Amino acid sequence: MNLASPFSLALVAITALAFLGLPIGLSMICGSILYLALSGADMGIVAEQFLNGMYSNYVILAVPLFILAAELMNIGSMTERLLSFCNVLVGRFRGGLAQVNVVQSIIFAGMSGSAIADAAGTGSMMQKLMTDGNRYTPSFAAALTAVTSVIGPIIPPSIPMVIYALVSDASIGYLFLAGMVPGLLMAGLQMVQVAITARRQNFPVEEPVPLREIPGITWRALPALFMPVLLLGCIYSGVTTPTEAAALAAAYALLVSAVLYRSIRWDALYRALLSSSKTTASIGMLIAGALVFNYVITIENIPESIKGVLTSWDMSPVVFLIFVNILLLLLGCFLEGTTILLIVVPVLIPTAQALGIDLVHFGVVVVVNIMLGLVTPPYGLLLFIVAKISGAPLRDIVRDALPFILWMALCLAVITFIPDVVLWLPRLLGYQG
């Protein structure tokens, strides 16, 4: 590569601006403008790519709607009712409150589609419950909240899978189905580790819920429990598209919290709308920057060049998937997941297609890798979030999270080398891949 070429200078500009603190989305836009200026191209291309990508793609609209649904659930009493129901299911076992943390992540996974929303929404509540009376150390409670939160974007619905569908043209519906078994497998392995740690460290056993209270707790949680059933049922029955289902999820969360539970105040609703708007704007700017920079990458023929290099190495699909896992796990230690999805993954997709790798299988492998990156140091965004919530030292949280991360790596290996674990459910419901 010519280090004085417009593309090389654009990469330098993006890297320098990002290190100086400019958001990565704006950095990519600035670097792309520099590339177009140096190459003598029409500067209006930046606006054209931005407008065509952001306003002609119906899929992107699902992202802010799922974010809003998560915010509305968190300000209502849906969270408390669901936690009470989870306690009925697994609270009676040793380390039961830790098992509740895992189970609630499975349930919330069918609602928000965001690991950060799950960690921020239920994280502070679970932290308070687990550390009350010194039943669990703050670092273990925080570590468990971090690792269970990654289940959210694997079990449908999933914001990262929506973004992957945007860059790969894979079916969102089949991607959602493909994440179901890996997500449940990961949750099961986490529950195994909780049971092992509970026995080893003699975690407390919670007071069993009296039988006479179980029907009432279940009844009060039923409207919230119905949300993932409604959401996924509408998608897979064909009644709605995933984007329309996201709108339905937000409307249902507002209806249940405001009308049935009567737990939303106007000031809390305003804060929820403001928070979801800020998050949407941040993700939208990142997608906009990626759309413009992906145009530059396409002009430079980077995906085809990388495809030619990798295929010339005579890689088998298995070797390529190992290469992708190593690459994404390393990048996940330093880069934010959406950036990897929008910039790195599109470059790898042509090679995956050339090797005959199913794009739905590839998408789940990519998303699980990115979720692992959220809990691996030094970047580990979820680790920073739970450290702030808990006040526990980051090194202690990483130590307590390590056994869970190893189980998650095992889950990644299983879905990488046994595609049927991922594709079984989609094929059962009509997928031809």
**For the ranges 15-24, 47-56, 171-180, 362-371, which has the lowest average pLDDT?**
47-56
Higher pLDDT, 414 or 377: 414
Residue 259 resides in a domain = yes
| 82-90 average pLDDT score | 74
Q: Is 383 exposed, middle or buried (0-12, 13-18, 19+ CB in 10 A)?
A: buried
Higher pLDDT, 309 or 11: 11
pLDDT recorded at residue 421 = 93
Residue 32 resides in a domain = no
Q: Which two tokens stand for residue 13?
A: 């500009």
Say if residue 378 is preceded by a cis peptide, omega within 30 of 0. Answer: yes
Residue 303 resides in a domain = yes
Residue 250 resides in a domain = yes
pLDDT score of 412 more than 90: yes
pLDDT score of 11 more than 80: yes
pLDDT recorded at residue 112 = 60
The torsion angles phi and psi of 205, rounded to 5 degrees, stand at -100, 130
pLDDT score of 1 more than 60: no
| 167-180 average pLDDT score | 88
pLDDT recorded at residue 122 = 67
pLDDT recorded at residue 417 = 94
Higher pLDDT, 275 or 77: 275
| 226-251 average pLDDT score | 79
Q: What is the mean pLDDT of the chain?
A: 81
pLDDT recorded at residue 32 = 83
pLDDT recorded at residue 124 = 67
Residue 137 resides in a domain = yes
| 382-399 average pLDDT score | 84
**For the ranges 213-222, 302-311, 354-363, which has the lowest average pLDDT?**
302-311
Residue 300 resides in a domain = yes
Residue 3 resides in a domain = no
pLDDT score of 163 more than 60: yes
Higher pLDDT, 366 or 234: 366
| 247-271 average pLDDT score | 83
Residue 4 resides in a domain = no
Tell me which residue has tokens 């897979």. 236
- Report the domain count for the chain: 1
| 319-332 average pLDDT score | 88
Dihedral of CA atoms 53, 248, 233, 84 in degrees, nearest 10, equals 120
pLDDT recorded at residue 225 = 78
pLDDT score of 15 more than 60: yes
Residue-number span of the structural domain to which 365 is assigned:
42-428
CA separation (Å) from 12 to 8, 35, 260, 304, 347? Answer: 6, 11, 54, 22, 19
pLDDT score of 295 more than 80: no
Q: How far is the C-alpha of 253 from the C-alpha of 260, rounded, in Å?
A: 10
pLDDT score of 314 more than 60: yes
pLDDT recorded at residue 55 = 61
